Amino acid sequence: MAYKTPPSVSAMPETQTLTVFGASPNPFNPTTEIIFSSSRTEELSVKIFDMRGHLVADLGERVYPPGMHTVAWQGTDGQGQAVSSGVYFYIVESESDRRVGKMTLVE
């Protein structure tokens, strides 16, 4: 019978620290909240992109403590102008992780 040596701690993959629960409400008009959690203190950014992959709004980058968090988006671009109805993508990103979700703005 052969025995396998367990992998070393350094070979073990890191556990997931960032979880995104979606945007609520979705579809929305005119405001939605992106809901996410982190299992450790880390710097996260939240950005909104259109269907063509163009940056629509940068909702900021800051250090979040462990726990649940929400970031609101009012359906506006970087200059504060209302965007048109359609599908948008949000990206919640840390130095080591990235999560993408989809939301729909309806008029």
Per-residue pLDDT of 31-90, as tens digits, reads: 999 999 999 999 999 999 999 999 999 999 999 999 999 999 999 999 999 999 999 999
| Distance, CA of 40 to CA of 21 (rounded, Å) | 17
Number of domains in the chain: 1
Whether 95 has a pLDDT exceeding 80, the answer reads yes
CATH number for 39: 2.60.40.2550
| Collapsed DSSP state (helix, strand, coil) of residue 29 | coil
Mean pLDDT of 1-27: 69
pLDDT bucket at 17, cuts 50 / 70 / 90: confident
Full domain range(s) for residue 72: 14-105
pLDDT bucket at 14, cuts 50 / 70 / 90: low
| Distance, CA of 91 to CA of 44 (rounded, Å) | 10
